[in-house]
Each structure stands twice: as C-alpha cells, then as structure tokens.
Amino acid sequence: MVGRIHSGIIYTIGFAGLMTLVLVACSNSSGPAAGPAIDVGSASGRGGDRVSVGAAMTGGDGKVVATSAEIVYDATRVNVDVKPDGTPDCTVNPRIGAGSAADKTLLLSVTNAGAAQKKLTVGVINLQNASVISDGDLFTCDFVIAPGAQPGPTVLQNTPGASDAQGNELAVTGASGTITVK
C-alpha cells in the first residue's frame, strides 16, 4: 500500500491499484478569513427528539471541490442518528449531490474522541471529478437527544477543511453549532 499526504488530503493506493481519498479536516481559525467558511448550524428539541443540523459553505469563490467537517460532541447528551445499515444519518444537499453539476457524495465516520465525546467526520467529495462546490448548504445530519438530557446547549465543535482541484488545502474557517435541549 502506498500513501501520500498532500495538503489536507490523504491519497492511498491499495489493493488492485484502487485509490481511496480521505479529507483531513484542517482549520485556520485565527486572523481574517482568507478563504471559505464551513459553518455548522444549530437545532433544539426535548429529550428523545430527533433534530436535523446542517452545514453550509460561504466564500468558496469557485475554488472548492471537496470539503470536510469534523464535529465533536458530548455523546451523553446527543448522538448522531444511524441508518439501518449502521451509517450516520447524513444527507448531501441535492443541489450538489448525485446528478447535479457538482455530483458529490458523502464520506462518513463516527469515532470516539475521548471521555464521553464522539467525532462525526463528514466529507463532501467525488473521487471521479474535480467539479466546484458552490456556496450554500452542503449536508444535514440527524441527531437524537438523549432522553434524560438536562436542558441547555451542547456544542457541536466544528473543525472544517476544504481543498481545490489540485488537492491543495485551502485556508478555511468555520463556526461550531449547538443542539439546545429544552
């Protein structure tokens, strides 16, 4: 297996010459915004409710072909919902999804992030094209609020990443979201 790290993207060539690509979320949260912003939204609900949280990009300037968001949250209060096949319940926005000009899909994973935290990683990408992603909504993910969660906010700590058509990491900023338990 041969691997190469290139400006926020890891290319790995493995068995039978198949190439996989993983975006590494990188952020530049200090100083003025020099590139795109990928912001995670907010939602509210009561214990046991299912809520949708979206992410949107602004300032892409026609350069962004792939994005990522690493979203760390307190899993004792909220958890990303899962589909029957066990994958995170996230959906690419149809305006950039399959059959659109951008024709992107989602790469998803959930991992433990220490103590009671989990990390949801959402990549918006197409391994077969370098079509630009226009500014606007990128994806939504459904979360379930724990039935016994006490009222108050739960931060969805966002570490965003983006790359251009040459695989270069772009300076990117992004706001974290919240899920507020009522």
Q: Which CATH number goes with the domain that contains 139?
A: 2.60.40.680
- Mean per-residue pLDDT, 90-113: 98
Share of the chain above pLDDT 70, in %: 81
Q: Are 72 and 157 in contact (CB under 8 A)?
A: yes
pLDDT value at residue 34: 64
Strand spans (E) along 47-151 = 50-58, 66-74, 78-80, 90-92, 105-112, 117-125, 136-145
In a domain, 8, yes or no: no
12 in a structural domain = no
The H-assigned helical ranges of 117-180 are none
Q: Is pTM, for the whole model, over 0.75?
A: yes
Rg (CA), the chain: 16
Give residue for tokens 């939602």: 43
Domain count, the chain: 1
Is residue 119 situated within a structural domain? yes
Confidence band, pLDDT 50/70/90 cuts, at residue 25: very low
Question: Cβ atoms within 10 A of the Cβ of 50, count?
Answer: 12
- In this prediction, residue 113 carries a pLDDT of 96
Residue-number span of the structural domain to which 127 is assigned: 28-166
pLDDT at 82 over 90: yes
Mean pLDDT of 76-81: 98
Q: Is the pLDDT of residue 17 over 80?
A: no
What value does the mean pLDDT take over residues 9-34?
39
